[in-house]
A and B are shown apart, each in its own frame.
Chain A
Amino acid sequence: MLELIVISTLNGVLFGMLLFLLSSGLTVIFSMMGVLNFAHASFYMLGAFFGFQLTKWIGFWPALVLAPLLVGAIGMAVERYGLRNTHKHGHVAELLLTFGLAFAIEEIVSMIWGKSPVDYRVPALLDFPAFTIFSTNYPAYKIFMLAVSVVIFVALLIVLKRTRVGLIVQAALTHPHMVGHLGHNVGRVFMVVFGVGSALAGLAGVIAGPALVTQSDMAAALGPILFVVIVFGGLGSLPGAFIASLVIGLVQTFAVALNGSLAGAFGPLDPSAGPSVLTDIWNVTIAQVAPIVPYLLLVIILIVRPLGLMGTRES
């Protein structure tokens, strides 16, 4: 049992950190522009495919740096030439733009790389068990993923809280006009923030690609969970996104590990009643409902605390 708890905690934290890489960008972009970027998960997918392609051409390590930069550049272009132009038409136009972009990226990716999973492998250098707890091996690559996520988290925190750049970004998020009057180029700040957010999503894609599955529907599969994370954590709140990512990661992993059901807790139903919808509900295990647990959390948090865990703004 202890083994299960330790391994599940590791897996949960890892998945949570991956979610954070994605949700951090999304939530900052939200507080900046006031709209959800539906294409955010698509940047994650682009990162994975760029990582795969560049790994084939120049190897994994250069790809780890180049692919997120490329995705970041695309993100900046989207902000500069897409969102900035639609901004004057209001939030709905911006929302629709990112919505359309998500579909366009998915189609383009499946046109170039096909619809089936690509063979994106863990680099040979990291393809070994890092350590053995009890008798389970833990892959070195997963430790690497964890390390990258933690480093990015710390770097992000330092930049935002301890540097002048971070100060301007934070100010621009809440008081863009004042920052503009003080002589800063707010447009450029927005563009850079959007680019960095996209690059982080791209980085998540590059490192998650080999461990999970790199295929053209990976954005659609992850998108809804991201949405849950940032609403749960509070729209626009970075610490909220961090806590929510970890909570969702752990909850999903532990839900799989648990076997409890209503039948287990209260005893089986009277067999003479025969099979019915009720017996199905009675016997379903927590593991089986694991995929919907995050959405259940979303509903609960919206009822109990509509702002989200750390949210401050009403919108």
Chain B
Amino acid sequence: MRKLTLAIAVIAPMLGHAASAEDTVKIGYIDPLSGGGASVGEGGLKTFQYLADELNAKGGILGKKVEIIPLDNKTNPQESLVQAQKAIDAGAHYITQGNGSSVGAALSDFVTKNNTRNPGKEVLYFNYAAVDPSLTNEKCSYWHFRWDASSDIKMEALTNYMKDTPSIKKVYLINQDYSFGQSVRTDARKMLGAKRPDIQIVGDELHPLLKVTDFSPYIAKIKASGADSVVTGNWGQDIALLLKAAADAGLKVNWYTYYAGGAGGPTAIKQTGLDHQVFQITEGFANSGNKAAMEYEKAFRAKVNLSLWYPRAVNEMRMFKAAAEKANSIDPVKVAAALEDLKFEVLDGGQGFMRKDDHQFFQPIYISSFGKLTESEPFDEEGTGWGWHLVSKVDTAQAMVSTTCKMARP
């Protein structure tokens, strides 16, 4: 009798566990759904839900339904850990997050600890946008996979383009005061200094993350510095409000940004009247010229009523499916192994791969500018009539950086 009770006590939870894992693949989506990051967080959620629906319409992953669990982390690392635990309690073995490298670092650490302490209940962290280089260097983890190009890759490409623009004489740096913003400013200083020592850095600003509601004091300062170009890694409301304040003040400079295309950005740029003077660097964009990607964009816009701001999320989910099929399992440990060095044709064309050494995905990246469109560019943004136009493409081989990651493997 005692033995039987013991057997039931041991087996019953396993059965329950197996049953819940059988029919659905749950992915915890941990991103800001309130506060200053909500505009990007909600867009991301809609994107992942669209991708899940798309996978489910074609039979899901290995016949299992994909379900996205939305969890609001308020762009707060501490809150994110609570939400990650909630995701795990709800039966998710995968979590995905993107907004805020401070959050990314906390989650990567959390997942690593969780997996060491709970063998057999591993969780993978799919990072689609937290681009602080440290996540694939000194703080790298076997359980973390990043689909967005890291900040130093982007800055390398951006400064290569700026190098060949002789009109740039005075550059102003304005970034958010946390790990990612600081890495942007450090990389920009280092790379511009090496490639164009004649360029003068006339300002180097760090402002509070997602707290500033009126950027006009900062714009006045940029104006007073006499800068002809501004470099910024700002995202969420910080880029939209920065551009809005610039538009209000009539500031005429060239903008070299990571995320000017985020919600509210295009509207503000149109208001500034800066035609093809605002640049952004992404792994894909609406008018990339790739036929399949443009068809996809059209379908996405028709259903979600948003621009596809995260082509990398498409890559992430498709690659997840590919890895699960390769491993013939949705066990996170097997999927993680299958993802390593997996080659993959990305949405906007060209081959990328998930490097085994640091779990960074390498892919072609594009610099585009925002302004009036030509006939072959059908997509505008936020109803402005203006859209993104290809300026420069960097192939996968040129978009590689070395890593200092010494990965602890299970």
List the interface of chain A (C-beta within 8 A of B): 1, 3-4, 7-8, 11, 15, 110, 115-117, 129, 132, 135-139, 142, 211-213, 215-218, 221, 253, 256-257, 259, 287-288, 291
The 7 A-B pairs of least Cβ separation, nearest first, read: A115-B34, A116-B38, A137-B250, A4-B224, A212-B213, A7-B220, A256-B217
Q: Which residues of A contact B218 (CB under 8 A)?
A: 256
Listed stretches B80-88, B157-165, B203-211, B312-320; interface member: B203-211
A256 and B221 form a contact (CB under 8 A): yes
A116 and B213 form a contact (CB under 8 A): no
Closest residue of chain B to A6 (Cβ to Cβ) is B220
Closest residue of chain B to A110 (Cβ to Cβ) is B34
Those of B194-226 within 8 Å (CB) of chain A: 203, 205-208, 211, 213-214, 216-218, 220-221, 223-224
A213 and B237 form a contact (CB under 8 A): yes
Q: Which residues of A contact B223 (CB under 8 A)?
A: 3-4, 7, 135-136
Q: Which residues of A contact B34 (CB under 8 A)?
A: 110, 115-116, 215-217
Interface string of B32-73 (1 = CB under 8 A from A): 011110110110000000000000000000000000000010
B214 and A212 form a contact (CB under 8 A): yes
Q: Which residues of B contact A110 (CB under 8 A)?
A: 34
A115 and B250 form a contact (CB under 8 A): no
Q: List 27 A-B contacts (CB under 8 A).
A: A3-B223, A4-B220, A7-B216, A7-B220, A8-B220, A11-B214, A11-B216, A11-B217, A15-B214, A110-B34, A115-B33, A117-B38, A117-B39, A117-B237, A135-B250, A212-B213, A215-B38, A216-B34, A217-B36, A218-B213, A221-B213, A253-B217, A256-B217, A256-B221, A259-B203, A287-B207, A288-B206
Alpha-carbon separation in the docked complex, A132 to B250 (Å):
9
Question: CB of B156 within 8 A of chain A?
Answer: no
Which of A115, A137, A142, A253 contacts B35, CB < 8 Å? A115
Question: CB of B8 within 8 A of chain A?
Answer: no
Alpha-carbon separation in the docked complex, A11 to B216 (Å):
7
Alpha-carbon separation in the docked complex, A11 to B212 (Å):
14
- Say how far A272's CB is from chain B's closest CB, in angstroms: 20
- The total of interchain contacts (Cβ-Cβ below 8 angstroms) comes to 88
Q: Given A135-B250, A142-B248, A213-B213, output 4 extra A-B contacts at Cβ < 8 Å.
A: A11-B220, A117-B39, A129-B248, A217-B34
- Say how far B44's CB is from chain A's closest CB, in angstroms: 12
Alpha-carbon separation in the docked complex, A259 to B222 (Å):
12
Interface of B is mostly: helix
- Say how far B226's CB is from chain A's closest CB, in angstroms: 10
Question: CB of B395 within 8 A of chain A?
Answer: no
- Say how far A264's CB is from chain B's closest CB, in angstroms: 12
Q: A136-B249, A215-B35, A216-B34 known; A115 and B72 CB under 8 Å? A: yes
Question: CB of B228 within 8 A of chain A?
Answer: no
- Say how far B305's CB is from chain A's closest CB, in angstroms: 14
A4 and B213 form a contact (CB under 8 A): no
Alpha-carbon separation in the docked complex, A48 to B373 (Å):
36
Q: Which residues of B contact A257 (CB under 8 A)?
A: 217, 220-221, 224
Q: Which residues of A contact B248 (CB under 8 A)?
A: 129, 137, 139, 142
A288 and B216 form a contact (CB under 8 A): no
Closest residue of chain A to B41 (Cβ to Cβ) is A116
Alpha-carbon separation in the docked complex, A11 to B251 (Å):
16
Alpha-carbon separation in the docked complex, A89 to B241 (Å):
46
Interface string of B221-244 (1 = CB under 8 A from A): 101100000000000010001000
Question: CB of B177 within 8 A of chain A?
Answer: yes
Q: Which residues of B contact A211 (CB under 8 A)?
A: 214
Q: Which residues of A contact B250 (CB under 8 A)?
A: 129, 132, 135-137
Which of A115, A221, A287 contacts B205, CB < 8 Å? A287
Alpha-carbon separation in the docked complex, A217 to B32 (Å):
13
Q: A110-B34, A288-B177 known; A116 and B249 CB under 8 Å? A: no
Which of A3, A221, A288 contacts B224, CB < 8 Å? A3
Alpha-carbon separation in the docked complex, A135 to B249 (Å):
9
Q: Which residues of A contact B41 (CB under 8 A)?
A: 116
Q: Which residues of B contact A287 (CB under 8 A)?
A: 205-207, 221
Alpha-carbon separation in the docked complex, A291 to B210 (Å):
12
Q: Which residues of A contact B207 (CB under 8 A)?
A: 256, 287-288
A136 and B35 form a contact (CB under 8 A): no
Closest residue of chain B to A252 (Cβ to Cβ) is B217
Alpha-carbon separation in the docked complex, A3 to B36 (Å):
30
- Say how far B238's CB is from chain A's closest CB, in angstroms: 11
Q: Which residues of B contact A4 (CB under 8 A)?
A: 220-221, 223-224
B217 and A8 form a contact (CB under 8 A): yes
- Say how far B244's CB is from chain A's closest CB, in angstroms: 10
- Say how far A269's CB is from chain B's closest CB, in angstroms: 18
- Say how far B204's CB is from chain A's closest CB, in angstroms: 9
Q: Which residues of B contact A217 (CB under 8 A)?
A: 34-36
- Say how far B304's CB is from chain A's closest CB, in angstroms: 15
Alpha-carbon separation in the docked complex, A139 to B271 (Å):
13
A116 and B220 form a contact (CB under 8 A): no
Closest residue of chain A to B72 (Cβ to Cβ) is A115
Q: Which residues of B contact A136 (CB under 8 A)?
A: 220, 223, 249-251
- Say how far A116's CB is from chain B's closest CB, in angstroms: 3
Q: A115-B34, A291-B208 known; A137 and B213 CB under 8 Å? A: no
Q: Identify which of A7, A132, A291 gathers the most chain B CB atoms within 10 Å of its CB.
A: A7
Alpha-carbon separation in the docked complex, A115 to B74 (Å):
10
Q: Which residues of B contact A137 (CB under 8 A)?
A: 248-250
Interface string of B73-112 (1 = CB under 8 A from A): 0000000000000000000000000000000000000000
Q: Which residues of A contact B36 (CB under 8 A)?
A: 213, 215, 217
Alpha-carbon separation in the docked complex, A212 to B203 (Å):
25
Those of B270-298 within 8 Å (CB) of chain A: none
Closest residue of chain A to B203 (Cβ to Cβ) is A259
Alpha-carbon separation in the docked complex, A240 to B251 (Å):
36
- Say how far A237's CB is from chain B's closest CB, in angstroms: 27
Alpha-carbon separation in the docked complex, A22 to B52 (Å):
46
Q: Which residues of B contact A115 (CB under 8 A)?
A: 33-35, 38, 72
Alpha-carbon separation in the docked complex, A218 to B36 (Å):
10
Q: Which residues of A contact B208 (CB under 8 A)?
A: 291
- Say how far B259's CB is from chain A's closest CB, in angstroms: 16
Alpha-carbon separation in the docked complex, A115 to B241 (Å):
18
Alpha-carbon separation in the docked complex, A136 to B249 (Å):
5
